[in-house]
């Protein structure tokens, strides 16, 4: 994921350098600033991945909604422009489905963004047949969803699977077999914050 930041930074520096030569060196300053911002924005820190039958956060950010229903719980995580934007698998297992859906680019923190915005839904099934779905959702500024995972791939808990560029949201759908460990307003980190634990593991 760091390579993406290097790509944008290089383009910005080249454009700024060319403009500085043709116009004035001062004209290159905004491009240099943007290049440094890209290197920072696309940072990809290592994370300590918890062990055991847990579901970890697929994204850095703030939990803006925990919607509990008898058959499932939805957890919505909003990423602002300051958050790390690398997305990770919430559980380990086989990716059984990846579904991309075009859509709008409204503010990702709004509830209707879950179904109205451009999104990419990934379904993972673990060795026990437990299924977790998580959805990368584009936002007002984010206009590109990157997903490097495809159906048939096997992932480990907390493994990097992609990113969403420049602010967005990730929703996670968990079944009734999970005990939720987080609440609205809480800050979470991709790969290291436990969202939920398998109910039988808490006994």
pLDDT tens sequence across 144-178? 788 999 999 999 999 999 988 766 889 999 999 99
Whether 49 is in a domain gets the answer no
pLDDT confidence band for 11 (50 / 70 / 90): low
Whether 46 is in a domain gets the answer no
Phi, psi of 15 (to 5 degrees): -65, -40
Higher pLDDT, 106 or 58: 58
Whether 192 is in a domain gets the answer yes
Alpha helices in the chain, H assignment, sequence order: 2-22, 29-41, 113-116
pTM of the model: 0.79
CB atoms closer than 10 angstroms to residue 21: 11
| Residue 143 contacts residue 130 (beta carbons within 8 Å) | no
Mean pLDDT of the chain: 82
Whether 117 is in a domain gets the answer yes
Residues 19 and 61 in one domain: no
Sign of CA dihedral 46, 51, 55, 61: negative
Strands in 131-138's sheet, in edge-to-edge order, are: 154-155, 93-101, 119-125, 131-138, 168-174, 73-79, 61-68, 187-188
Q: Is the pLDDT of residue 183 over 70?
A: yes
Residues 125 and 188 in one domain: yes
Whether 47 is in a domain gets the answer no
- Confidence (pLDDT) at 18: 62
Domains of the chain: total: 2
- Set 12, 57, 109, 168: catalytic member: 168
Higher pLDDT, 102 or 33: 102
pLDDT tens sequence across 96-105? 999 998 877 6
- Confidence (pLDDT) at 184: 96
- Confidence (pLDDT) at 163: 86
Higher pLDDT, 81 or 203: 81
Residues 33 and 101 in one domain: no
Phi, psi of 40 (to 5 degrees): -75, -45
Active site residue 168: yes
Residues 197 and 103 in one domain: yes
Residues 132 and 162 in one domain: yes
- Confidence (pLDDT) at 89: 97
pLDDT confidence band for 139 (50 / 70 / 90): confident
Where in the sequence is the domain holding 37, given as residue range(s)? 2-41
Whether 188 is in a domain gets the answer yes
Residues 31 and 87 in one domain: no
Sign of CA dihedral 185, 80, 104, 77: negative
């Amino acid at each position: 994921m760091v390579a993406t930041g290097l790509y944008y930074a290089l383009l910005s520096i080249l454009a700024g350098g060319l403009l500085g030569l043709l116009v004035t060196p001062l004209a290159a300053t905004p491009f240099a600033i943007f290049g440094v911002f890209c290197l920072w924005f696309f940072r990809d820190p290592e994370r300590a991945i918890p062990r055991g039958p847990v579901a970890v956060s697929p994204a850095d950010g703030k939990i803006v909604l925990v919607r509990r229903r008898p058959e499932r719980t939805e957890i919505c995580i909003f990423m602002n422009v300051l958050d790390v934007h690398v997305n990770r698998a919430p559980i380990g297992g086989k990716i059984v489905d990846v579904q991309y859906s075009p859509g709008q680019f409204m503010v990702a923190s709004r509830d209707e963004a879950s179904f109205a915005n451009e999104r990419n839904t990934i379904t993972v099934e673990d060795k026990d047949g437990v299924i977790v779905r998580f959805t990368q959702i584009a936002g007002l500024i984010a206009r590109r969803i990157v997903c490097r995972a495809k159906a048939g791939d096997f992932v480990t808990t907390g493994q990097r699977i992609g990113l969403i560029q420049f602010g967005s949201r990730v929703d996670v759908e968990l079944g009734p077999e999970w005990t939720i460990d987080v609440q609205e307003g809480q800050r979470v980190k991709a790969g290291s914050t436990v969202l939920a634990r398998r109910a039988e593991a808490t006994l």
